[in-house]
Amino acid sequence: MIERSFVEKGYVGETYAIAKLIRDFNIVSVRVPQQFFSYDLITSNNKRLEVKTAILRRFEREHPKKTYYSDGWEFRRNRRQLHEDASHFVVCVCFKSEDFSEEPRCFIVPSEKLREHSEVFKISANPKRKGEHKFWECENKWELIAKNG
């Protein structure tokens, strides 16, 4: 299996998001060499989208008597992406494996839901696990991008 770089994974996620949206919108990528934008894509209805891609991994939490494990996806945003006017949505593209062989889970998270989070946030792979179902109400909510306002 080929080991993918961080940048390659990001391109795969962005390409997937464009493919999901291209039927309903004209999409513009804002990638410009040597320049930073706090979002990756902009739609024809002027929605700024930050696309984050992750591969499923196992997290470990140690407590004095026991170690707990959970599976999920971890995303990192930089400080400039945390500002109110940075993006309207964070599109989280979640693959199960490095080979991208299965259809990913996608979470369309309104940016304001992430304002109270630090630069790192996680989505659990188990939506039924107590306390770890955050963001699952955003799964496949592509229609949010089409709304005005």
**What is the side-by-side strand order in the sheet with 57-62?**
57-62, 67-76, 120-124
pLDDT the model gives residue 113: 87
As a whole number of angstroms, the distance between CA 38 and CA 148 comes to 21
Q: Give pLDDT, residue 1.
A: 59
Are residues 123 and 134 in contact, defined by beta-carbon separation less than 8 angstroms? yes
Q: How many of the other CB atoms lie within 10 Å of CB of 98?
A: 13
- Residue 101 above 80 pLDDT? yes
Q: Decide which of 3.60.70.12, 3.10.310.10, 3.30.1060.10, 3.40.1350.10 is the CATH code for 6-144.
A: 3.40.1350.10
pLDDT of residue 137: 92
Query: Does residue 102 contact residue 96 with C-beta atoms inside 8 Å?
Result: yes
| Side-chain-facing half-sphere of 111: CA atoms under 13 Å | 19
Share of the chain above pLDDT 90, in %: 39
Report how far Cα 122 is from the mean position of its chain's Cα atoms: 10
Could you read off the pLDDT of 47-97 as tens digits, one per residue?
999 999 999 999 888 888 888 888 999 999 888 788 767 899 999 999 999
pLDDT value of position 50: 93
pLDDT in tens, 113-141: 887 777 888 998 987 765 556 789 999 99
Query: What is the pLDDT, as a whole number, of residue 69?
Result: 84
Q: Is residue 70 within 8 Å of residue 129, measured between CB atoms? A: yes
For the chain, which residues make up each domain, given as ranges?
6-144
Strands 89-95 and 41-43: unpaired
